[in-house]
Amino acid sequence: MGFKKVEQEEPKVPCISLIGMAGAGKSTLAPLLAKVLNWAHLDSDHHIEAYYAMPLQAIYDTYGHERFLEIEGQLVSELMLHRTVISTGGSVVYSEKALAKLKKLGPVVHLDVSEDTFIQRVGDASERGLAIAPGLTLRDLYREREPLYLAAADITVRTDDCTPEECVRRILEQVNLS
């Protein structure tokens, strides 16, 4: 018994991808946004964990910084989705291949927070699976990534000055799903 692909009569609906620093609200806002849209939600970090059958931090510790970034970029670049809100790992911006795929899937939304909010929310980051190159501080990481998010995003929504529900409203006001 095999599966037969059902031909779609309706046009394919794009995805919305959320990018941003750890602590920007990707994992909080993506399920809320998906619920409002009646879409699926995919957390790319959980996708990586499922693929490797281990926690994100263990993958990072096992394979190291550079290989982890390659793994993330490859798995995100292979996503084939529609009608899905994708919450990405913060380091996805290091992969041109992954960003190109996200752009092809639909609008990319940068969830922006201040440097101080990032530092406060992330804490020591020891159990977050945070892809930070050896020798970089959290402030260095923020300053390195912030321009990459801005360059990759179709829209930017500030998330440290509003409730999650208000952030979802702001995203929906700005995103173009046609």
CATH code for the domain in which residue 57 is found? 3.40.50.300
Nearest-5° Cα angle at 49, 57 to 155: 90
Give the global pTM. 0.90
Q: Is residue 2 part of a domain?
A: no
Predicted pLDDT of residue 125: 64
The span from the CA of 60 to the CA of 46, in Å, is 13
Q: Is residue 23 part of a domain?
A: yes
Q: Is residue 40 part of a domain?
A: yes
Give me the half-sphere count of Cα atoms (radius 13 Å) on the Cβ side of residue 164: 14
Q: Is residue 91 part of a domain?
A: yes
Helix (H, G, I), strand (E, B) or coil at 101: helix
Cα 144 to Cα 46, 87, 127, 136, 166, distances in angstroms: 24, 20, 21, 10, 28
Cβ neighbours for 156, distance < 8 A, ≥ 6 positions apart:
109, 110, 112, 149, 150
Q: Is residue 92 part of a domain?
A: yes
Q: Is residue 10 part of a domain?
A: no
The span from the CA of 79 to the CA of 75, in Å, is 7
pLDDT digits (tens, 9 = 90+) for 35-64: 999 999 999 999 999 999 999 989 999 999
Predicted pLDDT of residue 7: 55
Q: Is residue 150 part of a domain?
A: yes
How many structural domains comprise the chain?
A: 1
Is the per-residue pLDDT at 77 higher than 80? yes
Q: Is residue 57 part of a domain?
A: yes
In which domain, by residue range, is 135 found? 16-174
The span from the CA of 54 to the CA of 77, in Å, is 20
